[in-house]
Chain A
Amino acid sequence: MTRLLIVGFVVASLSSAAHAQYYPRNPYYPGGYGYGSVYPNGPGYNAGAYLQGSASVMQASGEVMVQQEQARVTREQANQAKIDTKRKAFDEMLYEKANTPSYVEELTREQANILTRLMNFPVKSEITDGKTLNVMLPFVADLSSRGSMGPPVPISQSMVNQLNIASSGASSVGMLRDGGQVDWPLGLQGKNQKSLDKLLPQAYNAAASGKLTPKLMKEIRTEMKTMRETLRKQCQNDEIETSSYLQAVEYYNALELSINALERPDAKKQLAGAYSPRARNVQELVDFMSDNGLKFAPATPGSENAYQVTHDAFVRYARNAQSSAGFASLNMPMQEPPENKKK
């Protein structure tokens, strides 16, 4: 019997070709959403009324554009999710044969061309922990400082409001932004959660007025530690589903970072909204971050979509800017800024 193994050809071909094939690229969307000219000329025009009217028109058209953008992002995310899911299932086959690069090997490979990879093939967690935005930030700022600005790429203020911002290298109070009120996932609910529901608003108010005490922080940390231990035991005893456990741990870690941020010298500033950017588009957001020496902190659970939308907007802006500067063709890998190359 001549045995013909299709299995071989699939892997043989896909180990190289398929990765190019299955890893989705962010499609290039040419052109921008210009605001168009609304300046009046001619006699008899009522400047106040006109400006009010044109402001309304601009606001309305801006909203429409943001909505269109969001619809596009949603559609794109759905398509990308399908391709990504297909690739993941495909990778399972290689994983079984221990043919896939291990997690640690992937990490090593990541060190090279990090910007290109993060812009083209990020994994979800890299977007939601702010990594992709932080890597792109100096690159986009650099493009703009060299005069390579593309057309404005709008971002809705409601999305910007959900981004956690912190001074460079620091954590953000993001999860406590709502006066210390926290929406707990199922895995963390219980006795400790009830205690923390009382303690965290107290800590928020104390930090906002510069009166946070070590005693209060110690109380919070004791409750947090017990909560973590309880969760661990639940997992060990199979009382909680693995997926809920990992989700709860993710939430717990983000909360712990926000609690730690309360002790930072700039906590008061953060809570007062000094790090809350007002930005209508990518350029304004990048300018705000660069001017204030800020970084994106990890997303708080529930705000992941805002990070995805901002990531997509950054990629589009960067591509447009590169394209308009004439030094990159469509779908070419992004050029690494000197800062990232050094890494």
Chain B
Amino acid sequence: MHINDSQWRSLALVVALWAAFTFSAHAQSAKCVAVHGALLMPAKAKWDQLTANANAPNDRLIVALFGGEFQSQNGAVDVKLLADVGQRGPFPVLEAAVTFHANDKADLALTLERGILVLVNTKKSGAAHVQVRASDETFEVVLSEPKAKVAIEIYGRHVAGPPNLKSAREDRPIVNVAFFALAGEAVISTDKHATRLQAPPGPTLYIWDNLTRTPDVHRFETLPDSLKPLTPEERQLVEKIAGFAKTWSAKNGPLVDTIRDATASKDPLERKAAVVAAGALDDLPGLLAVLNDQVHADARDMAILAIRHWLGRAPGKSIEMHKHLTTTSGYTPTQAKNLIHLFNGIERDKLRQPETFDLLIQALNHAKMPARELARWHLVRLVPDGKDIQYDAAAPEPARLQAIEAWRRLIPEGQLPPLPKKK
């Protein structure tokens, strides 16, 4: 067979394109520098671990239980991935997760999937460019000078009310993405806006959301207390929590099973961390099992938070949960929808109806334990004066009825809660 020049050129072009594509797809844009606990990547029916000094593969989700440090391959940017299981900050930020991507035009490209990450310009001079995808937006982050540092957090929640189960598109949580300049200057840009941030004092905080898609910029005079270095006690707590994840991931057998066992640990801290981990690894059956745990009320309480967080992570999670509840957990479609409504919370308008409180008090004796636990969870938040009422969703019915009587004394049927006692 004779191949002429033109055909050679075409072939060479195809090969070059294939090579470029392959290189791009498999290029490693970041390297893992340190692991605090475990860094996990989903694989077929299991979780692979990413170890320190290994390259972080592109386009693969990396879940941090509960922290990790990375560096861009060109050495221009340091990345820290953080979670807040210690609950130091007022926001219940659970696990953190990121996906790295190849990008010729930036020093680093990544998607912040969950939690918090901190970017630092480690160049000796000049700006570092990072493309950050979060929710359905792409942000260009320019760390204008060496040592410039920006923290980014993503946080999604459904608005209180019944779930929209028609389609994944309509089951859309509201996602907030916040950028905070911790050191030096940075510019955050989208297609429509470019905003310069600087460490306090100055315009420091930039918050974007997927509904209005318009950033709000806030000025700070000093760094807030919660951003100050950890106390020795807090550091010890974080290390302990990371230690649990390290232990779980070192055990033989499926990680998800190990974590499920840990949700019933004797150590309350390990139980909480395990519940968060179950959510992080998408173990919805595991989380629902915790909500049916007869012994550990604290684990049930944490599971509510973990499921709310899980539901708010992406569109379509309510549909997934509804399907699971109706097909494998023995819920009727109405029961399942009502349970997800309770997870999402009660609409503000409905809190002016006495019937809402009647409904919640009645639900303290619901046939399904998750509904009972959720009713308690809401009641103590809506009516703090009821916090002292002894109630355990796992207690036998007579004890639950006693608690209902106590709640009824506080909020008589057909009435709104009384004004709070003066402190």
| 11 pairs from A and B in contact (CB 8 Å cutoff) | A4-B227, A5-B89, A6-B116, A11-B226, A14-B218, A95-B381, A104-B383, A104-B385, A123-B349, A238-B335, A246-B359
B211 contacts A by Cβ under 8 Å: yes
Chain A residues 218-237 with CB under 8 Å of chain B are 235-236
Surface stretch bound by B, among A86-94, A305-313, A317-325: A86-94
Q: Please tell me if the beta carbons of B158 and A89 are within 8 angstroms of each other in the complex.
A: yes
Instruction: Give bound CA distance, A96 to B311, whole Å.
Output: 14
Q: A89-B173, A90-B176, A246-B350 are in contact. Are A8 and B157 (CB under 8 A)?
A: no
A182 contacts B by Cβ under 8 Å: no
Q: A1-B67, A104-B383 are in contact. Are A97 and B90 (CB under 8 A)?
A: yes
Instruction: Give bound CA distance, A12 to B36, whole Å.
Output: 27
Q: Please tell me if the beta carbons of B334 and A93 are within 8 angstroms of each other in the complex.
A: no
Interface residues of B (CB under 8 A from A): 34, 36, 67, 69, 80, 82, 84, 88-93, 116, 118, 151-153, 155, 157-162, 173-174, 176, 178, 180, 182, 204-205, 207, 209, 211-212, 216, 218, 220, 223-227, 229-230, 234, 238, 305, 308, 332, 334-335, 337-338, 341-342, 345, 348-353, 355-356, 359, 362, 380-385, 416-420
Return B144 CB to nearest CB of chain A, in Å: 19
A243 contacts B by Cβ under 8 Å: yes
Instruction: Give bound CA distance, A86 to B69, whole Å.
Output: 32
Q: Which B-chain residue is minimally distant from A11 (CB atoms)? A: B90
Interface residues on A, range: 35 or more
Which single member of B224, B353, B362, B381 contacts A102 (CB below 8 Å)? Answer: B381
Instruction: Give bound CA distance, A99 to B209, whole Å.
Output: 21
Total residue contacts A-B, CB cutoff 8 A: 199
Q: Please tell me if the beta carbons of B227 and A8 are within 8 angstroms of each other in the complex.
A: yes
Chain A residues 76-135 with CB under 8 Å of chain B are 82-83, 85-86, 88-90, 92-100, 102-105, 107-108, 123-125
Q: Please tell me if the beta carbons of A92 and B151 are within 8 angstroms of each other in the complex.
A: no
Q: Please tell me if the beta carbons of A104 and B182 are within 8 angstroms of each other in the complex.
A: no
Q: Please tell me if the beta carbons of B225 and A12 are within 8 angstroms of each other in the complex.
A: yes
Instruction: Give bound CA distance, A4 to B82, whole Å.
Output: 8
Which single member of A82, A103, A253 contacts B383 (CB below 8 Å)? Answer: A103
Residues of B contacting A104 with CB < 8 Å? 382-385, 417-420
A141 contacts B by Cβ under 8 Å: no
Q: Please tell me if the beta carbons of B118 and A4 are within 8 angstroms of each other in the complex.
A: yes
Q: A2-B229, A13-B218, A103-B382 are in contact. Are A108 and B359 (CB under 8 A)?
A: no
A178 contacts B by Cβ under 8 Å: no
Return A134 CB to nearest CB of chain B, in Å: 15
Q: A6-B151, A125-B349, A245-B359 are in contact. Are A93 and B92 (CB under 8 A)?
A: yes
A249 contacts B by Cβ under 8 Å: yes
Residues of B contacting A103 with CB < 8 Å? 351, 382-383, 417
Residues of B contacting A242 with CB < 8 Å? 162, 337-338, 341-342, 359
Q: A1-B67, A6-B152 are in contact. Are A105 and B420 (CB under 8 A)?
A: yes
Residues of B contacting A12 with CB < 8 Å? 90, 224-226
Residues of A contacting B174 with CB < 8 Å? 85-86, 88-90
- Bitwise interface map of A from 1 to 44 toward B, beta carbon under 8 Å scored 1, else 0: 11111111111111001100100000000000000000000000
